Structure 1
Amino acid sequence: MNAPLRYVSTRGASPAASLGEAIAAGLAPDGGLYVPESLPRLDPAAFDPHGTLADTAATLLAPFFAGDTLAGDLPAICAEALDFATPLRPLASPPGAHVLELFHGPTAAFKDVGARFLAACLRRLPRRDPRPLTILVATSGDTGAAVAAAFHRQPGVRVVILYPDGRVSPRQAHQLGCFGDNVRALRVAGRFDDCQRMVKAALNDAAVQAAVPLSSANSISLGRLLPQMSYYAHATLQWRRVHGGPLNLIVPTGNLGNALAALWVRELGLPIGEVQLACNANATLPDYFAGDAYRPREAVATLANAMDVGAPSNFERLRWTFPDEHALRQRLHAHSVADADIRQVVARHAREHGELLCPHTATAMHRLERLCVGGDTAAWTVVATAHPAKFESVVEPLAGHPVPVPAALAAMLARPASADPLAASDEALHAWLLARSAAAA
């Protein structure tokens, strides 16, 4: 029997919480992000070599759920949330390279994994407050649709999505506004970082929380981050059985949640090798890993819009995991990729190899190509975070032909969609939430 884990804030000024309490709250009371008091260690031999992704997740997360009210439900939560494949397959080029496809969920992005898991957890957590729980989510493109799909028509839950108006792809915007019922989309006159700041401010506002019970479904939520470790654990155990040795990863990243999940799997003792981060022109992380002081800045718009983040929230968790700054910079590298390079990679792989890449995956592919040019001969796996059909306005002109649309995405695009305008201020969101609460009373 694993000893119960407690969860603490990255800022150290909040009392320890149970896993269920940390998931329900989203953000710690002091504004920090919840982390386990310590990361457990796992034996790769404990995993079923023939198990599904859900089986791997249940074994992986058991120490994190130990002693919690959700512990007995963990296998059912995993089976409910992780019922689609995350295949690891070889790439046409370069030789030995692979791609980990994380976009086979209902909204065609890796965010489906965390959103569905979080929804399954919250459905099972008892609530003393009889009023509906409002899930606030800031999205740079993909998170919002995944959260909306996961919580759509769930009793006792409302979802409010904030996205930067004009800074997501047309199909992403349509997805965000197509659900209706208990889901509302707000198109914010600002950047993703504004949306993220507004959500955090609301979660930390006692007056708003008293009037409108709130939680979060961004990657600040532990319930989003923990399940994202499962596909890396599943892939690296599969890799070792077939190829031997660790799995080396190139992860496209903006808010750092997906990359941190891979790093935590390595810290747990599973055979993840080197991890490199591929970023777009938003250079907060590449500048830091190049030796500069950590300096959040306003995000700039790029083709890889879901990574348009200038102040990545999970940097706090990264520094908690690796408190020695020098050692962190030795173990992790981040690289910026310009829009022109994204276009070239998408066009070349479509033309020469018949591979269709979304702009985010193209940043990772560009990094792989640079490594090969530099003489690196290691076997690398590129992480594919979204289906290229979500970015048809970018991909189709470069590929020279239409991108097939997955059935679930096509069904969403066939629905009507709408979103309410909102100013990019904390006060505007507070007023909107309070007005909606009063209207629903």
Structure 2
Amino acid sequence: MTFISTRNTAPAASLSQAIAAGLAPDGGLYVPERMPAPRRLAPGATLADTAATLLQPFFAGDGLAPELATICGEAFDFPAPLQPLATPGDHVLELFHGPTAAFKDFGARFLAACLARLRRGAERPLTILVATSGDTGAAVAAAFHRQPGLRVVVLYPDGRVSPRQAHQLGCFGDNVSALRVAGSFDDCQAMVKQALGDAGLQAQVPLSSANSISLGRLLPQTSYYAHAALDHHARHGRPLDFVIPTGNLGNALAAIIARELGVPIGRIVLATNANRVLPEYFDGGDYAPRASVATIANAMDVGAPSNFERLRWLYDGDDAKLRAAFRSHAVDDTAIRQTIAERYRRYGEVFCPHTAAAVHVLGDLRERGVEGDWSVVATAHPAKFESVVEPLIGRALEVPPALAALLARPAHADPLPPDYRALKERLLRD
């Protein structure tokens, strides 16, 4: 299979080329030249086996194809359980059982496994440049830590991630550097995109991306949706609907692609925080990216979601068709806090702020009489947001062992202004 840019002015690329590049030369995002035919998938397989079967068409004819099963085995060695919630018909897909307690672990580990193979024998190291609004950077750092021939530079908005997220970002050292940017996530993301598109810089410092703009991150995220929906359909004979917290749209797009591949997924609803670019678009307004607003669900503090380009491509640029296919709902900080406190008081359930936004949206859907089997997507463990969650539930949260081990390490991040020239100088110097 070959891959093209969403902007249609870059040469077609193989999967390996698209993964290694991260961003297409014309600034667009790589997408398959055509979507594969729906897959025949069987329930009951392991998550790794489901991933290998689902992703096989994307790898067809590529040098990585013979190693796909092994790559999936390395990446998907922790669970993604679908758990019932207290309210009948409602579920939660827990994606926080990996080494950094966030869903980003799945895609980051898959990408690292791919790039480690692609870079074997390379003369110069490849720098993985990452903008993060909270969880991506730690997942990428963990996945690439001490990988030979690879280094990671993480940019995050200073003061706009949780304290534990910030500690994770700076605790690795070795081949991982953390830069705390005096700006927003959108500033970080813009600098990363500019660096990836800078041919002069690339000639001196080979770069790639591990944000959700990377195919190596996006494609494997389809797998946990397929695994959960297939098993649910086998048990109940009904499709599974999803409410997905979203910022940069990568995780939601993965569910959409899984559905396109024939997975028994029903409706997909997007939950955002107070950053309303997507809800306003799906309500009929123009797509109007703007500066992000800081919230307690900081990983969704995105004012210019990159994967919107891919979503539009998937619907042939037809805004009417796209708006008819999805709904998006904004949830402010007050509602997120109320949801965390109320669900704990009534049912003993504990959610991170991002997951709570999805739980709130699902509650609204149920109040309006929407039926079906629904799952919210739990994108991070609540213990990563103890300063928000613990005061609302009135008790301390148990920290998962893997997260506790990271928090016990010393951490350091260097300051960086929101200025591309400063980033370029840093990359050339290191």
Shorter-chain TM range is: over 0.9
The Cα offsets for residues 171-192 of structure 1, whole Å up to 9 and x where unpaired, read as: 0000000000000000000000
Deviation, structure 1 residue 42: 2.5
Deviation, structure 1 residue 142: 0.1
Alignment of 1:244-393 (within 5 A): 244-323=237-316, 324-393=318-387
Secondary structure of 1:223 counterpart: helix
Alignment of 1:15-414 (within 5 A): 15-43=11-39, 46-92=40-86, 94-126=87-119, 129-323=122-316, 324-414=318-408
Does residue 434 of structure 1 match 2:428?
yes
Q: Which residue identity does 2:418 align to in structure 1?
A: A
Q: Which residue identity does 1:385 align to in structure 2?
A: T
Secondary structure of 2:328 counterpart: strand
- 8 Å contact kept, 2:42–2:230: no
Deviation, structure 1 residue 377: 2.3
Secondary structure of 1:335 counterpart: strand
Work out the CA distance in 2 between the residues paired with 1:176 and 1:123.
21
Work out the CA distance in 1 between the residues paired with 2:103 and 2:247.
13
- 8 Å contact kept, 2:122–2:149: no
The Cα offsets for residues 274-302 of structure 1, whole Å up to 9 and x where unpaired, read as: 00000000001001001011000000100
Work out the CA distance in 2 between the residues paired with 1:184 and 1:214.
14
Is the alpha carbon distance of 1:356 and 1:140 closer, same or farther for their aligned partners in structure 2, counting shifts above 3 Å?
same
Q: What TM-score does the superposition give when structure 1 sets the normalisation length? A: 0.96
Deviation, structure 1 residue 49: 2.7
Secondary structure of 1:250 counterpart: strand
Does residue 6 of structure 1 match 2:9?
no
Work out the CA distance in 2 between the residues paired with 1:256 and 1:49.
27
Q: Which residue identity does 1:25 align to in structure 2?
A: A
Deviation, structure 1 residue 352: 1.1
Is the alpha carbon distance of 1:418 and 1:232 closer, same or farther for their aligned partners in structure 2, counting shifts above 3 Å?
same
Q: Which residue identity does 1:216 align to in structure 2?
A: S
- 8 Å contact kept, 1:48–1:55: no
Deviation, structure 1 residue 129: 4.7
Deviation, structure 1 residue 351: 1.2
Is the alpha carbon distance of 1:200 and 1:128 closer, same or farther for their aligned partners in structure 2, counting shifts above 3 Å?
farther
Secondary structure of 1:173 counterpart: helix
Work out the CA distance in 1 between the residues paired with 2:11 and 2:120.
20
- 8 Å contact kept, 1:23–1:222: yes
- 8 Å contact kept, 1:185–1:419: yes
Gaps of 5+ in 1: 437-441
The Cα offsets for residues 157-211 of structure 1, whole Å up to 9 and x where unpaired, read as: 1100000000000000000000000000000000000000000000111111111
The percent of aligned pairs where both chains have the same amino acid is 69
Q: Which residue identity does 2:99 align to in structure 1?
A: P
Work out the CA distance in 2 between the residues paired with 1:238 and 1:289.
31
The Cα offsets for residues 323-377 of structure 1, whole Å up to 9 and x where unpaired, read as: 2211110110101000000000000111111111000000000001111111122
Is the alpha carbon distance of 1:66 and 1:245 closer, same or farther for their aligned partners in structure 2, counting shifts above 3 Å?
same
Work out the CA distance in 2 between the residues paired with 1:409 and 1:33.
32
Alignment RMSD, CA only?
Answer: 0.9
Work out the CA distance in 2 between the residues paired with 1:417 and 1:136.
19
Work out the CA distance in 2 between the residues paired with 1:75 and 1:127.
19
Deviation, structure 1 residue 131: 1.0
Q: Which residue identity does 1:14 align to in structure 2?
A: A
Work out the CA distance in 2 between the residues paired with 1:376 and 1:13.
43
Say which of 418, 423, 427 aligns to 1:424: 418
Q: Which runs of 4+ in 1 moved over 2 A?
A: 46-50, 126-129
Deviation, structure 1 residue 127: 6.0
The Cα offsets for residues 389-427 of structure 1, whole Å up to 9 and x where unpaired, read as: 000000000011011100000000000000000000111
- 8 Å contact kept, 1:256–1:314: yes
Q: Which residue identity does 2:16 align to in structure 1?
A: G
Secondary structure of 1:421 counterpart: strand
Gaps of 5+ in 2: none
